[in-house]
Structure 1
Amino acid sequence: MQILGPVLFLDAVAPDGVHLAALFLAPKGQQPPPVEVGGTFLPAVPIAEYDAVTIFRARFLLPPRRSEYRWNGTAFAVQGDLSGPLRIAYVSCNGEEIGDLGREGSERNAMWARLGRDHQADPFALLLHGGDQVYADEATDDHPLTKGWPDNLPDEPSDEALADLRHHLRERFLERYAALYASPEFAWAVARIPSLMQWDDHDICDGWGSLRRKATESAVGRTLFDVAREAFLIFQAAAPEGDLPPRFPDPSGAHLGWEVRAPGLRLLAPDLRSERRRDRIMGPGGWAFMDGQAPMAKGEKCLLMSSVPLLGPRLSLLENVMGLVPRMQRFEDDLRDQWQSHAHRAEWQRMLRRMVTLGPKGGDIAVLSGEIHLAGRGQMRLAEGTTLNQLVASGISHRPPPKGWARFLGALSSLGDSPLDGHPVRIGRIPGQAGRYVAQRNYLTLRREGSAWHAQWELEDSGTSPVLPL
């Protein structure tokens, strides 16, 4: 194994520039070269140890007028000034549930290669990852304690057995992240575009939080969550326990929501997994984070990342049907994962009300989501002249479901929904597309020019969509 990296993360935006962290994966005993900025050398320090690999991080400041850093003889151009014209990319679902490590690289990462070419032609300032950065579902394979996960679990595993499981899972999570960060198309982009990542269920296991509490609250389940959380902090935030960057408002990491503010822009990523249960999406920490958000200023744009779409078709109707058909009940966890589930309707309404109260002072909101392996968009009117836009881009490498599923969801969405009185939800069409949902691999781009924002989807087969004003 050679040294992998740099993987660049945004820690904070400040008047003196952007504060960044570069992550490296090195074979045990090897030290990555330092990062150089303007003649100053910043050493990489170890933040985690695995059997044969040490994880390093170098934190550094990139002033607004400086547009590159250097590492190991290579210059990496970065857009450090976030105050003017701006271009942002949004991706999600970077993998598949079964056999992802065995996929042929150029097929798997075709959209990453396209994103890299896109960046070369018109650079992105930020890269937002909206969940399922890795698919860790197979990490539980090949260990006796998780052989039956999540349906059949040992009653009282010993401390020694749980310690062995923890070691097994840590190495399997490392394997997945290392494979991702070694892929050339992905590695090229994340070395040059600062990333901000929000986790979702596959970063832990399929359906985490919507599974039966018997599984998630078992000793095995808590071990799995603890290992996945550690991996998220290290590989998706370049931060060991107790050393989270300032964008995380809870330094304890009990919930992993984060906020970044730049001139005219607020980025919000509530944590929809750490406190999730079958009967709730967010817990006390997550709601304190959202309820504590100040109303938006006039002219401010809020990009809110909800890994699961906030606006969508009436999936509660499908939930009713599936509950009556025994063969379809295995999909119950997938539907309970959604905001629109019967189990979460009151909480969904609470979040939508928060969108209404957050944005009426002239600012407007766009929700960025992934999760469903389709591209789509929706709208909900907030107040006079302001609209909540929902933009769905999923997935960057996960192959799409059958086109019939996209047509079915489009037909379901035609029934409409109005979870809040006076704020009907409408599922629109991506410009240039005949259906409401598009079954192609994709990513989303957002551009600010002056005070105007617009969005475009990059679709694997259809190409770049026409502009959608926001």
Structure 2
Amino acid sequence: MTSLELGPVLRHVGTTTATVWVETSERCTVEVLGASAPTFQVCGQHYALVVVEGLEPGTCVPYEVRLDGEVVWPIPGLATPPSHLRTRAESDDTGRLRFVYGSCRFPPTDDPELEASLGIDALDAYAARLMDLVGAADDAAEVLPDALCLLGDQVYADEITPRTERWIRENRDPEAGPGLEIADYGEYAHLYAESWTDRELRWLLSTVPTAMIFDDHDVRDDWNTSQTWREQMAAKPWWPQRIRAGLASYWVYQHLGNLDPETRDADPLYRKVIEADGDVFDLLADFAARADAEVGEPTGVRWSYRWDLGRTRLLMVDSRCARVLNEQDRLMINDHSFAWIEENATAAPGEDDVDHLLLGSSIPWLMPPAVSHVQSIDEWAASRGSRLAETVRQAVDLEHWPAFRASFDRLADLVRGVASGPNAPATVCVLSGDVHHSYAAEARYPSPTRSRVYQLTCSPVRNGVPWFMEYVFALGWWRGLTNVLGRVARAAGIGDPPLTWSTIGGPWFGNAVSTLEVTGRQACVRVERSGSRGGLEPVAEIPLT
């Protein structure tokens, strides 16, 4: 009998449609609420995207998954509430929204010492609490969040668990290729299975629409930090297979479900994949190689995407694979991709105005101000051939938006334009992860804006940070140090940032998950941290309007 290997994962949901992703053990037909789709095959793995159409707007219904007519989800004995499909309402006078976000989730392991050092998984703790709420609720829609946003490092291809290390040693020579890192597509598939099969997370992904974007560890630490980094990796004989596998698996496991059905159906690669008879890895590998080789070029490859959640808009920004890293330019996002972001940041003619604009970037835009100056100074020195600056950049991850100063300023201009317009949203929030601590910062421009502007960072869901970095990040908000480094930057000819910002909460350390809650043009953010007893403990609730 064909089995359900992974999923179901609820992805993009509209007013009348919902997309469900699954991985199966064999070729089959997958059915959800009367809608069906055949599987496609990649390196012997089988997948399907089922688009359920004709749903009623603003409804919440339980669902099952069938493979060739046999019910395989829910799994008997898993003891979870039913999974639900909850559609968006066509109009919502309250404008209510619960948007959960976080990043950097190291998977469960079978090593007690490692488990103790990593701590309680905040997303698992959130899921366990939500299961209790749904199980006790008369109407699941009253307690379910509207969306879950995973802001990078869904898997760790370069930092594997003891269980995966044993699996690699049993299946190939651990001294060959990248050693005890992920080498090919099959090993990436193993990573996703390891990360997405624990009971709590599997249920959460099955019932809350989930948006995702990659960060460096989904491929490799410091991915696309600089042209020097790319040259160093290109010299490794195993790298071409690794990058093709990383981007191909991301396309299958994460990217496809990010897209609304209309956008996905218009994608030529997707059409070729679902129409193919046989394994399609070669198609995906060719696409992945092109996407990687043409970093900085206007190729038309766009990993960024848009979700409209009532009058709240999410623009998820690719801040890894859309970079420009040549000698002439150094940009976080190429012109082609940035133009798309600028075009979608405001309502088009005929669209409703946006009350809240969310910009999802795996790496923060507004860092602690002193750290921001350090990153810009390091970029300036590295661009003048300083080997020390390049070494430091890679050693301590000086690769955030301030290390791409031209792009930092362009994003500042974009946000200022949106926040100052006649139909400005109430808030513009940049949601980020990566830095293994959480904080909220408010930005201010020389001329007041109609919108309030925030950087909201939540990381990690489950990982750690060296103890001394807690002091570094806390010191980064100290005004005295910021002023000193600002003078150094000006002496080097680096202009002042076009805005200022200060913390309104944090920094907080430990495994955490955050929730942005919206009612009309009002908004607040709630940060919760996993506690010693396994649940979530409140850290802060901050009004944003």
Q: Distance in 1 between matches of 2:18 and 2:239?
A: 33
Determine the structure 2 residue equivalent to 1:9. Answer: 11
Q: Tell which deviates more after alignment, 77-86 or 324-333.
A: 324-333
- The answer to whether residue 357 in structure 2 is matched with residue 302 in structure 1 is yes
Q: What code does the residue aligned with 2:248 have?
A: E
Q: Distance in 2 between matches of 1:137 and 1:50?
A: 21
Q: What code does the residue aligned with 1:130 have?
A: L
Q: CA deviation at 1:448?
A: 1.4
Q: Cα–Cα, structure 1 residues 200 and 248, in superposed 2: closer, same or farther, change >3 Å?
A: farther
Q: Distance in 2 between matches of 1:136 and 1:48?
A: 22
Determine the structure 1 residue equivalent to 2:470. Answer: 406
Q: Which of 364, 367, 371 pairs up with 1:315?
A: 371
Q: Aligned pair count?
A: 430
Q: Tell which deviates more after alignment, 420-429 or 377-386.
A: 420-429
Q: CA deviation at 1:331?
A: 5.4
Answer whether contact 1:128 1:196 (CA < 8 A) is retained.
yes
Determine the structure 2 residue equivalent to 1:115. Answer: 126
Q: Which of 433, 441, 460 pairs up with 1:378?
A: 441
- The answer to whether residue 520 in structure 2 is matched with residue 450 in structure 1 is yes
Q: Note the alpha carbon deviations across 1:196-235, whole angstroms, 9 max, x for none.
A: 1111111111111015221355574443222211111111
Q: Which of 429, 438, 442 pairs up with 1:366?
A: 429
Q: Cα–Cα, structure 1 residues 244 and 469, in superposed 2: closer, same or farther, change >3 Å?
A: closer
The 5-angstrom pairing of residues 12-411 of structure 1 reads: 13=14, 17-28=15-26, 31=28, 34-36=31-33, 41-51=34-44, 53-61=45-53, 62-71=55-64, 72=71, 74=74, 75-81=82-88, 83=92, 84-95=95-106, 102-103=110-111, 110-120=121-131, 121=133, 122-138=143-159, 142=174, 144-147=176-179, 168-210=183-225, 212-217=229-234, 220-238=238-256, 245-246=261-262, 251=267, 254-278=301-325, 279-295=330-346, 300-313=355-368, 314-315=370-371, 317-318=373-374, 329=391, 332=394, 334-341=396-403, 344-361=404-421, 362-363=424-425, 364-382=427-445, 383-402=448-467, 404-411=468-475
Q: Cα–Cα, structure 1 residues 358 and 222, in superposed 2: closer, same or farther, change >3 Å?
A: farther
Answer whether contact 2:218 2:246 (CA < 8 A) is retained.
yes
The CA RMSD over aligned residues, in Å, is: 3.5
Answer whether contact 2:121 2:511 (CA < 8 A) is retained.
no
Q: Distance in 1 between matches of 2:439 and 2:145?
A: 22
SS at match of 2:214: coil
Q: CA deviation at 1:287?
A: 1.5
SS at match of 1:210: coil
Answer whether contact 1:339 1:348 (CA < 8 A) is retained.
yes
Answer whether contact 2:440 2:503 (CA < 8 A) is retained.
yes
SS at match of 2:154: coil
Q: Cα–Cα, structure 1 residues 264 and 65, in superposed 2: closer, same or farther, change >3 Å?
A: closer
TM-score by length of 1: 0.80
Q: CA deviation at 1:132?
A: 0.9
Answer whether contact 1:312 1:427 (CA < 8 A) is retained.
no
Greater radius of gyration (CA): 2
Answer whether contact 2:412 2:499 (CA < 8 A) is retained.
no
SS at match of 2:402: coil
Q: Tell which deviates more after alignment, 182-191 or 284-293.
A: 284-293
Answer whether contact 2:255 2:303 (CA < 8 A) is retained.
no
Answer whether contact 2:157 2:191 (CA < 8 A) is retained.
yes
Q: CA deviation at 1:392?
A: 0.5
Q: Cα–Cα, structure 1 residues 346 and 443, in superposed 2: closer, same or farther, change >3 Å?
A: same
Percent identity over paired residues: 18
Q: Distance in 1 between matches of 2:175 and 2:336?
A: 33
Q: Tell which deviates more after alignment, 224-233 or 182-191.
A: 224-233
Q: Distance in 2 between matches of 1:327 and 1:365?
A: 33
Q: Cα–Cα, structure 1 residues 101 and 25, in superposed 2: closer, same or farther, change >3 Å?
A: farther
Q: What code does the residue aligned with 2:57 have?
A: P
Q: What code does the residue aligned with 1:22 have?
A: V
Q: Tell which deviates more after alignment, 383-392 or 317-326.
A: 317-326
Q: Note the alpha carbon deviations across 1:102-159, whole angstroms, 9 max, x for none.
A: 556897663123211443433211111111111111589937343599xxxxxxxxxx
Q: CA deviation at 1:290?
A: 1.8
TM-score by length of 2: 0.70
Answer whether contact 1:130 1:198 (CA < 8 A) is retained.
yes
Q: Distance in 1 between matches of 2:495 and 2:366?
A: 12
Q: Distance in 1 between matches of 2:497 and 2:219?
A: 37
Q: CA deviation at 1:275?
A: 2.4
Q: Note the alpha carbon deviations across 1:317-374, whole angstroms, 9 max, x for none.
A: 5456899997994653543321122xx1122111111111122233130110000010
Q: Distance in 2 between matches of 1:277 and 1:327?
A: 19
Answer whether contact 1:266 1:303 (CA < 8 A) is retained.
yes
Q: Cα–Cα, structure 1 residues 328 and 339, in superposed 2: closer, same or farther, change >3 Å?
A: closer
Q: Distance in 1 between matches of 2:389 and 2:498?
A: 36
Answer whether contact 1:7 1:24 (CA < 8 A) is retained.
yes
Q: Note the alpha carbon deviations across 1:409-460, whole angstroms, 9 max, x for none.
A: 1222223588986953323142xxxxx3111110110111233111100112
